Amino acid sequence: MSAFRFLNLLILAAALAACAGPGWYAQAISGHYRLMGDRQDIDEALKSGELDPETATRLEQTRDMLAFAGSELRLDAGGSYRDFVMTGQDAVSWNVIAAPEFSLEPRRWCFVVAGCVPYRGYFDPEAAERFAGRLEARGLDVTVSPAIAYSTLGWFEDPLIDTMFRYDDAQLAGFLFHELAHRQLYVRGDANFSEAYASFVEAAGVTAWLRATERQSLAEDWRARKEAGRAFTDLLRQARRDLGRVYASDAGDDWKRREKAARFQALESEYRETVKRRWNGRDYYSGWFARGPNNAQLALAESYLGGVCAFSGLFESAGADWARFHELALARSKLDEAARRDWLQQPCGDIASGDDL
């Protein structure tokens, strides 16, 4: 897609969207073109010999990961990831997520490209924090989540971002597989379906990649991290169930406020106990509690993890054949919204074993 067409698409979105004003679109367009303008061709950069050894090594590794994604996971990168951008930042963008004081349903913002999604992204962290502050002033629960990778959902040829290189090889592969999954399948206006699909592809794809590359130590670290992720997800889901009952009660707001504060305090205590008892002191999710846990964070976590088990079952139905799996996922994406939501809510059961995810 040409840069001109993409620019026109964003301008059209600004004219049609009811939830985001021209100021937001101005920073989105500016940030996108600043990022695209800073791209460097990977082949040329590697040939130049001017890259530091670590960056050169990571760029070479991404080539192998992308080749694996294409041949084994049946994920087509198209023209993406031929360039890279050095931002010198910890994140490429910052997403603002908000939810009402007594609800686990996130506020949504509507855009022509992505549909209605439970976040609003900014290229400037200070702008994200200012917007978050305005939402908090209205009584909403708010969190600001940094984004490590950048995707135009197939509308543009996405570059690699140096923020992805700050993580180990398994996580780097996971970022790539996740974003390639978005290029493969993204349901406009259904972030839960789209993110659950990409999260499953990421987890199962990295497991397959580690198995193929026979990197035992890295695989052990990855499995430990995924086991921790499942345990943390269990804690969050129990908190969601408990808070859902609190918010649905007929009690007054003061009681709900006390119960909410107590449950989030209990969640943090449960997490700290899990770190000591099960993870040998590895504080995998310390950042989750840095701002103070709230409804917005629970809503964000559900967007990414809520339907992973449904896709795991679909992968089994496909006989672990990636091409067939993507076909079945595409078929599920064509269900109406209510049917997709019901399908995503399948219980995990014994679908996702420790060896597979």
What pLDDT shows up at residue 245? 97
- Is-contact 99 106, C-beta < 8 A? yes
Query: Which residues of the chain are under the pLDDT cut of 50?
Result: 1-19, 350-357
pLDDT number for residue 356: 39
Taking only the tens place, the pLDDT of each residue in 156-199 is 788 999 999 999 999 999 999 999 999 999 998 888 899 899 99
Measured between alpha carbons, how far is 277 from 285 in angstroms, rounded to an integer? 15
What distance in Å separates the CA atoms of residue 130 and residue 312, rounded to the nearest whole number?
39
So what's the pLDDT on residue 240? 94
Beta 93-99 vs 109-111: how paired, if at all?
unpaired
Q: What is the pLDDT of residue 4?
A: 43
**Domains in the chain: boundaries:** 3-167, 216-306
pLDDT for 203 equals: 93
- Dist CA 98 CA 128 (whole Å): 12
pLDDT of residue 21: 57
For the stretch 202-226, pLDDT in tens is 999 999 999 999 888 899 999 998 8
Q: How far apart are the first and last CA of the chain?
A: 35
Q: H/E/C letters for each residue in 280-322?
A: CCCCCCHHHHCCCCCHHHHHHHHHHHCCHHHHHHHHHHCCCCH
Q: Which two tokens stand for residue 113?
A: 């490209």
Q: What is the pTM of this model?
A: 0.83
**pLDDT for the residue 354:** 35
